[in-house]
Structure formats: structure tokens, C-alpha cells
Amino acid sequence: MKVRMTLYLLLISCTCFSQEADVWKILSEVNFETTASSETGFEMDSPKFSKKLWSYNGKKVQLKGYMIPVSETGGKTDYMISSFPFNACYFCGGAGPETVVEVQTKEKLPFSNKLITMEGILFLNDFDPDHHIYMIKDAKILK
């Protein structure tokens, strides 16, 4: 009986600690501050990331989401992944910028309109307006 109970408790503890973090929820821990650009003089919204979010910067993450085509930008290995399907994504609907992530890969990925899981290194961008506030580099689709 003691052995069975010990195995049961071990199984429960392993299950609890093996759950993945909800990365999309963590990405929502961002606020924006309007500031004047020193270069252009125009106002722009700058992201202000939470401490928890900063702790994920430079770390490998997995995101379940939907690919957004960005072939019109000319990139052959640049994509976006959205927590929402294409018709409800940030660019097309009313979602916020924390619901999409810029994805950079080393090779071209096949497009899919189904839910996928991507893995890569997360980078927070609070300084380069030519890129999205979140980027995943060296990304790959997990099977």
C-alpha cells in the first residue's frame, strides 16, 4: 500500500511539473508607453515588458498557433504566428500586437492553415520599429 501511494504521489508531482507554460498568456504581460522618437520627432508606442516576460528573453519556447503569410514582404524564411486563425489575427481583426510573433527560420517552411506548434528562441524587441515586438529565431515546426 505504501509503495502504491508513493508511486501515485510521484506520478501526480511529475504531471504537475511537466506542464508547459502558456506562452501566449505570458506574452500578454506587456504595456505600451507613447514616447516621441528622438530621430523623427513623431510619437510612437514603445512596449514595456513585465519582469516575468523578460525572464523568457533568449530562451527556447514553444507556441501553438496559426501561420500568417507574409510573402509580400519578400522574405523566404520569415513568417508570423498568431494565437488566432488568420481571419481574427492582429492584422485583420481586433486583437492586440501581443497575439502575433515574428518568426525567423533557417529554411523555408511549408505553409499550413491548421494549428501548429513552433519552437525557437524568443527575443523581446523594444527598440527596432522595423520588427515586431516579439520574435522567435531559429524556429522550426514540431511534428
Residue 62: phi and psi, rounded to 5, are: -120, 135
Alpha-helical regions (H) of the chain? 2-17, 23-27, 51-54
- Domain spans of the chain? 21-142
CATH topology of domain 21-142: OB fold (Dihydrolipoamide Acetyltransferase, E2P) (2.40.50)
CA torsion 21-101-125-34 (nearest 10°) is: -100
Mention every residue, 6+ apart, whose C-beta is less than 8 A from residue 68.
Answer: 79, 80, 81, 82, 86, 89, 91, 100
Q: Kindly give the confidence (pLDDT) of every residue in the chain, 143 residues in length, as a single tens digit, with 9 standing for 90 and above.
A: 554 443 333 334 443 433 457 999 999 999 999 988 777 788 888 899 999 999 999 999 999 999 887 765 555 677 889 888 765 565 566 678 888 899 988 888 888 889 999 999 999 999 888 899 999 999 999 97
What pLDDT, on a 0 to 100 scale, did the predictor assign at position 21?
Answer: 75
Mention every residue, 6+ apart, whose C-beta is less than 8 A from residue 93.
Answer: 84, 87
What pLDDT, on a 0 to 100 scale, did the predictor assign at position 76?
Answer: 65
What three-state secondary structure class fits 24? helix
Q: How far apart are alpha carbons 53 and 81 in whole angstroms?
A: 18
